[in-house]
Amino acid sequence: MTNNTILRLAIQRKGRLSEDSLSLIKESGIKFSSGTGKLKSTAQNFPIEFLFLRDDDIPDYVADGVADIGIVGENVALEKGKNIDHLKKLGFSKCRLSLAIPKEANYKGFEYFQHASIATSYPKILQDFLTRNNIVANIHEISGSVEIAPSIGLANGVCDIVSSGSTLLSNGLKEVETILKSEAIIIGNQQMSDEKKSILDKLIFRIESVQRGKNKKYILLNAPNENLDSIIKLLPGMRSPTVVPLADKGWSSIHSVVNEDDFWDVIEKLRNAGAEGILVVPIEKMIL
């Protein structure tokens, strides 16, 4: 770097986003110390500084420029975020924001919520949703333990984050509408300098290389030459598979990259097409 510009990234200090946020940074080859209790840390080999904060505070800090970028759930970015850019989805901390009601209640549609009272920590997202669906309801904003509101008579329903659904179930509630599907995202300040933007581009390039590798596997296999054509058809590779002759005459080794999702399918077809000695290797990073 020719100047001293540093990008400030706000990360959740302790909670569901922390571990995956830190792993992503580490997998991107950025070294730093993150001892417990630290509020700030500077990377040793990349112009970036970390602020460790409560997730609810991150959108404001980013909007104000105290931090340049931050990692939060989309639910928090939408609820608390004003004047911030949503820059990149990160694929972890997936959950949904849903409406739920007592499990014995009869649900026929949104009308259930007409003039009802709903407890939530997400009044803004909920109000937008209700307005879009022409529902007038009474929103009770509470900051925690939203799921107990119906059983103590505070509300007819809740609007809360759901992951496995077991919290709703154990509180006698059933999920009836999904308002938002959420995952961790990078949010950004809208007035970043060009120097900061160029550091951000480098960071995102690294993150994308790591993410791409995560959904792929590198595979190596041996096959008799007469089966090469049919095997190559099964393997897309980055451009096309690499084929290397083996010392054993009439045999070749083939190297390629396959998608995690169609992996078992492809392996089965390869075996049927005469492939042997198949090795599967994780990919750390994938640069296109």
- Interface contacts to Zn ion, rule CB under 5 A: 55-56
Q: Return the number of the residue (139 or 192) whose C-beta is nearest ligand PRT.
A: 139
76 touches ligand PRT by CB under 6 A: yes
Structure tokens, 130? 């209700």
Q: Which two tokens stand for residue 171?
A: 């509180």
One residue of 47, 59, 70, 73 binding ligand PRT per CB under 6 A: 73
Distance CA 160, CA 101 (A): 11
Give the up-direction half-sphere exposure of residue 283: CA atoms within 13 A in the CB hemisphere.
23
Contact partners, residue 152, CB within 8 Å, separation at least 6:
none
The structure tokens listed for 181 are 């599907």
Region 161-190 residues binding ligand PRT, contact defined as CB under 6 A: 161-167, 182
68, 189 contact by CB (below 8 A)? yes
13/196 with CB nearer Zn ion: 13
The set of residues, in sequence order, having a beta carbon less than 8 Å from that of 48 and lying 6+ positions away, is 6, 7, 8, 9, 30, 42, 199, 203
Closer to ligand PRT by Cβ: residue 167 or 198 = 167
177 is in the binding site of which of ligand PRT, Zn ion, none (Cβ under 5 to 8 A by kind)? none
Residue among 73 and 81 whose Cβ is closer to ligand PRT: 73
Compute the least distance from the CB of residue 190 to Zn ion, in Å. 23
Q: Helix, strand, or coil here: 152?
A: coil
Q: Which stretch binds ligand PRT (CB under 6 A): 13-21, 42-50, 125-133, 196-204?
A: 13-21
- Residue 62 binds ligand PRT (CB under 6 A): no
Q: What region, left, alpha or beta, does residue 246 occupy, with left being phi > 0 and alpha being psi -120 to 50 degrees?
A: beta
Nearer residue to ligand PRT within complex by CB, 7 or 184: 184
Instruction: Determine which residue in the list 21, 75, 98, 156 makes contact with ligand PRT, applying CB under 6 A.
Output: 75
